[in-house]
Structures are given as structure tokens and as C-alpha cells.
Structure 1
Amino acid sequence: MHDLYAFLVGPLMWAVAIVFIGGLVWRFVAITRLARKKDPYVMHYLKAKWTLRSWGAWLIPYYPRSMRMHPWVTFFGFLFHIGVILVPIFLLAHILMWEEGALGISLWTMPEWLADVLTVCVLAGCVFFAARRMTVNEVKYVTDWTDFALLVVIALPFLTGILAHYQIFNYKFMIIFHILAGQAALVIVPFSRIGHMIYGPMVRAYLGSEFGGVRHTKDW
């Protein structure tokens, strides 16, 4: 078991990091090329001023009109994304693993209670989004099995992590399952809809610059 753990947090973690970062870079380059092909003049009106204005507006809960029109989606969406981003990076157990294992870095650590709360928020968000895909007609129409599979991929690292932390079921099995689930999620990110973490800000930069610099209006 110790040898398996050392392999997962060592060589395999490096491989996963390479695929994750390389995939995001590839996705960024591919989307940039596609945008320039579709609109050769996109770089001419892509400006930092309008990009930052758009990013700032969409980072404020309930500020854009579409967020106010879907209050529960906004509520669960913000909590979900905050948890998905902060827990994997700032959880004490992860930072200790990075210090002693593959990456050798040290960061600020979040309190245990906050990690638990955000983990529950992520799991609640997965349940909410799954229920919404099954009950809201306009969302149900564009939903297939891959959307539910992605929610499972996101939920598993958080579910197995909290079960392992509180030693529910077999700890050794659960921690191995947790590591594998997290690595699988990282590998899938650049090649699935979860990749909106890279193209989402790009879309906002494009729309923000077009609406602000060309149409002289807001994009929210």
C-alpha cells in the first residue's frame, strides 16, 4: 500500500500535472486560433480595459441581469466554484503532500471547518445541477449522459476526500480512491466541458471588448 501511495503522489502526479497543464495550454491555443479564423479582427478590439470590466462585473454575485433572473443557479454556482477552486489548492493535506511529494511548494492552508463547509457546498451544487438538468425543460433538452458523468467526476474527489478525512469506511482504500478520483478529474478537465475554466474568461474578454469597445454598452 505504501508503494502504491508513493507512486500515486509521485510519478503519477507528475504525469497528471503535465497532461492537465499541457491540455489547458493546447485548449487555449486551439480556441485562440479558432477565434482568429472566425473573426480575423478580434485582436484589434480585444482590450484589457473592457476585458477587466467584464470579468469584474461577472465576478460579483447577482450583479449581471442573468444572475438575478436565476437566483438559485447563481447561489449554488458561486458556492460550487469557490469550493472547487479553493479546497484542492489550500487544503492542509494537499499542501503537505505537495511539500513532501512531487511539487515541493508551500501555501497558506484553510481551516478544517472551512474545507468541510466548502466540500459540502460542492456536493450540494452537484446535486442541485443534476436535479436542474432533470427538471428544467430548456436545460433537460440539451442534457445527455455525459453531463451527469461530469458531475460524478467532480463530486467523487470531494466525497471520497471527506469520507477519508473522517475515516468513514476503510481509510486506506478511501484515500487511494480519493487520489485516483482527483487525478482523473484533472486529466479530464482540458478535454471536457469543465474546460470552461480556460475558455470562459476568454469568452468574457471577447464579449466585454466587443460590447465595450465596439457597441459602447455593457455585456451584463
Structure 2
Amino acid sequence: MYEFVSGPLALISFAIFFIGIIARIVLYVKGLDWQLDRVAYSEKLGAGIKGAARSLFHWLLPLNRTTANHPIFMGVTYLFHICLVIAPIFLLAHVVLIEESWNISWVTLPDKVADYMTLAVIAAGIFFLIRRLVDPNVKILTTVSDYIVLAIALAPFITGYIAYHQLELGAGYKSWLIIHILCGEIMLIAIPFTKLSHFVLFFCSRIQLGMDYGIKRGGAKGRGIAW
């Protein structure tokens, strides 16, 4: 079972993930229409790129009005996303597994740091869950799928923590390891088809909005363009 989930099933999961994400990006870009959006993307590319860079810089750094107005929520959000991305990619056990399978490797995090980052993801996830349950402004917008997506995101970290520390909570180490791998693969497969895809579509939307503002408000209006 372990050989199957860590071998063929892992390859299938990564294939679905990468193909799905590329498809989402392509569909997003193809959905842009400069006549409909009234933005001359190709003709004013220079101004658009500058605007896109400013937009990404503004939203990636926690130095904006949203952060100032909601410091706790934004702080937890930044911590959650940073740890959720960094910990799995640079975890020693994951890099070793990838090296054994595909003969490639990279620098890894100390196990203790990865452990703390895992706990940070779990704690932040619990914070988001409580917020959805008790904040009426968020609760009214929350659907069942939001809880499912949150569970999919947290499951690999919870099961990974249990497996790493060999906490025999109803199952042995090998069983928890298999469950952990399966949870990770479910997350990879789910990303292109759920709200988890925002991890890449966020950049697409920020780049688009930045280009819109850069072209429209950056002095790029000129003759021959149907504004």
C-alpha cells in the first residue's frame, strides 16, 4: 500500500495538480478581453508590467490598509500561507522522498523549524474555523464547501504531525504515514478544482488589476485605442 500511494498515486496526483493549475492560468488569461475590460494589455505592455509589479508588491507585503484595519486576522493569514507553502516544500522527509523517486533535491528546513511551522498551520486553521463559526459577517457567507476546503488543507499537516511524532492515535506509524500521504495527494488533486486554486489565481488577479490601473491611470491612454 505504501509503495502504491508514494509511487504511482503520487505521480498521478502531481500530474493532475500541475496540468490543472496550468489549465486554470490559461483559461484565466484567455478570459481576458481588452475590448470588454477596456484595457490595451498588449499595446501598453510596459505600463502594464509596472502596474502589475506595484500591485504584487503592495499585496504581498503586510504594509497596507487592510493589514492596519485587521492586524490579527491578516497576521494569522500571512503566517498560515507562508507556513503552508514553505513547510511541505522544504521538509527533509519530503525532499528525501522526491530524491529517491526522481533524483532531484534541494535545501531543507531543520526538523524543529518544520515542526513549528506545522503547528502554526494547524493553529491558524483552527482560528479560521472558529472565525467562520462565530463571526456573523463571515458565517453568513460560509458554505459547506468552505469547511471541506479547510479540512483538506489542514489534514496533511495534522496527519503529518501525528506520523512524525509517532502518536499512535488509533493506528500505528505506518498507517498514519499512508493516511498522511493520501491526504497530501487529495489536497494536490483538489487545488485546481476548488477555492484552493486561489494560491495561483491570486497572483493572476493581482497582476491583471495592476495592469489595468497601470495602463488606464498611468498615462497610457492614447489615440487609436477604443477606451
Do Structure 1 and Structure 2 share a fold, with TM-score over 0.5? yes
CA apart distance, 1:43: 2.0
1:178 to 173, 180, 194: 180
Letter in structure 2 aligned against 1:109: T
| Aligned twin of 2:86 | 86
Contact 2:77 2:124 in 1 (8 A): yes
CA apart distance, 1:41: 3.5
Q: d(CA) in 1 for partners of 2:40 and 2:137?
A: 31
| Aligned twin of 1:206 | 208
Q: d(CA) in 2 for partners of 1:13 and 1:111?
A: 24
Q: d(CA) in 2 for partners of 1:91 and 1:27?
A: 27
Change (3 A) 1:42 1:156: farther
CA apart distance, 1:211: 2.4
Contact 2:87 2:114 in 1 (8 A): yes
Q: d(CA) in 2 for partners of 1:73 and 1:185?
A: 24
Q: d(CA) in 2 for partners of 1:28 and 1:58?
A: 19
Q: Are 2:100 and 1:100 aligned?
A: yes
Superposed CA deviations along residues 163-191 of structure 1, whole A, max 9, x for unmatched, are 10010011011000000000000000011
Contact 1:35 1:42 in 2 (8 A): no
Change (3 A) 1:42 1:129: farther
Letter in structure 2 aligned against 1:13: A
CA apart distance, 1:134: 1.5
Contact 2:40 2:215 in 1 (8 A): no
What is the TM-score of this pair, normalised by structure 2? 0.88
Q: d(CA) in 1 for partners of 2:114 and 2:9?
A: 25
| Aligned twin of 1:194 | 196
Change (3 A) 1:30 1:66: same
Letter in structure 2 aligned against 1:207: L
| Aligned twin of 1:43 | 41
Q: d(CA) in 2 for partners of 1:139 and 1:82?
A: 23
Superposed CA deviations along residues 35-68 of structure 1, whole A, max 9, x for unmatched, are 228526352456221111111121212x111121
| Aligned twin of 1:52 | 53
What is the TM-score of this pair, normalised by structure 1? 0.91
| Aligned twin of 1:151 | 150
Equivalent residues in 2 for 1:51-70 (5 A)? Answer: 51-61=52-62, 63-70=63-70
CA apart distance, 1:130: 1.1
2:108 alignment partner, SS class = coil
Q: d(CA) in 2 for partners of 1:13 and 1:198?
A: 21
Q: d(CA) in 2 for partners of 1:42 and 1:81?
A: 33
User: With CA pairs under 8 Å and 6+ residues apart, which has the higher RCO, 1 or 2?
Assistant: 2
Displacement over 3 Å in runs of 4+ = none
Q: d(CA) in 2 for partners of 1:42 and 1:35?
A: 11
Q: Are 2:118 and 1:119 aligned?
A: yes
2:15 to 12, 18, 27: 18
Higher radius of gyration, 1 or 2:
2
Q: d(CA) in 2 for partners of 1:6 and 1:126?
A: 30
Contact 1:36 1:42 in 2 (8 A): no
1:43 alignment partner, SS class = coil
CA apart distance, 1:203: 0.8
Contact 2:122 2:154 in 1 (8 A): yes
Q: d(CA) in 2 for partners of 1:71 and 1:31?
A: 31
Q: d(CA) in 2 for partners of 1:188 and 1:163?
A: 22
| Aligned twin of 1:6 | 3
Letter in structure 1 aligned against 2:182: L
CA apart distance, 1:122: 0.6
Change (3 A) 1:24 1:42: farther
Letter in structure 2 aligned against 1:70: H
2:41 alignment partner, SS class = helix
